[in-house]
Amino acid sequence: MARAFHRKRALGRSAGARARRGVIEGQLDVAERALLRSLFEQTRLLLESVPGQPDASPQPADGPPDLEAIVARATAALDGPGDDPALQRLLPDGHRDDPLASAEFRRRSAGSVRQGKLDRIEIAVACLDAADEQGRIQLEPAQAGAFVVALTDVRLVLGQRLGLHTEDDMDAIEDELAAADDADPRVGLLLAYDFTTWLQEGLSQSLLP
């Protein structure tokens, strides 16, 4: 069963012990690690479903501009990351009231934002896979920070699937699902949302000075 993350207490006064004082430790059983790995994988697949980023490479100096390519890049930028609302939550517009500014924002930064999310998911999955036989996971501060942000992205997707936008939405869905049949897929989504929320809060607190 999951155990809240906490800073690992260093033993001794050696340089090696002092270097390990920032390590954060938690414990997740096989089923919990499998659940998290699945959630991270689904979020990764969603991010990878984004159409190819516009090619920002300059045109050859000795040839005319490719007008067809320019139109295609502009159209892709204006279309945004896709129709999936969860994907829109992961990669929101930088300027919602200005389509042209939003397109320019996506052209310049959406690729790096998306790649950063994918990199953090990869770090989080690697940390899960490095758990010992007792399910203990040890995270360096940088790994813990990546894990927290990756959990944020998972929760954004789960929240969108559940229709959560405000605290009132959370109360409403909890009341609705309290009497729902276990076969309702939202029951599992809500349990996963609660679990990742608890895990993220504990890990965030362990990162505090």
* pLDDT tens for the chain, residues 1 to 209: 566 788 876 544 544 444 455 899 999 999 999 999 999 999 999 988 866 544 434 444 444 445 555 445 444 444 445 567 888 788 776 555 665 665 566 556 567 888 999 999 999 999 999 999 999 999 999 999 999 999 999 999 999 998 888 878 888 888 888 888 878 888 888 899 999 999 999 999 998 87
In a domain, 71, yes or no: yes
In a domain, 59, yes or no: no
Domain range for residue 77?
3-53+65-206
In a domain, 107, yes or no: yes
* Res 82: pLDDT: 57
* Res 24: pLDDT: 94
In a domain, 145, yes or no: yes
The Cα–Cα gap between 25 and 114 comes to 28
Hey, what's the torsion of the CAs at 118, 45, 41, 141, to 10 degrees? 10
* Res 78: pLDDT: 42
The Cα–Cα gap between 194 and 202 comes to 12
The Cα–Cα gap between 142 and 108 comes to 26
* Res 19: pLDDT: 43
* Res 101: pLDDT: 61
The single-letter DSSP state of residue 37 is: H
What's the structural domain count of the chain? 1
* Res 60: pLDDT: 44
In a domain, 109, yes or no: yes
pTM (predicted TM-score): 0.74
* Res 75: pLDDT: 45
* Res 18: pLDDT: 44
Contacts with 196 (C-beta within 8 Å, 6 or more apart), sequence order: 36, 39, 151, 154, 155, 158
Rg (CA), the chain: 21
In a domain, 60, yes or no: no
In a domain, 58, yes or no: no
* Res 184: pLDDT: 85
In a domain, 41, yes or no: yes
Task: Please name the amino acid found at residue 43.
Answer: T
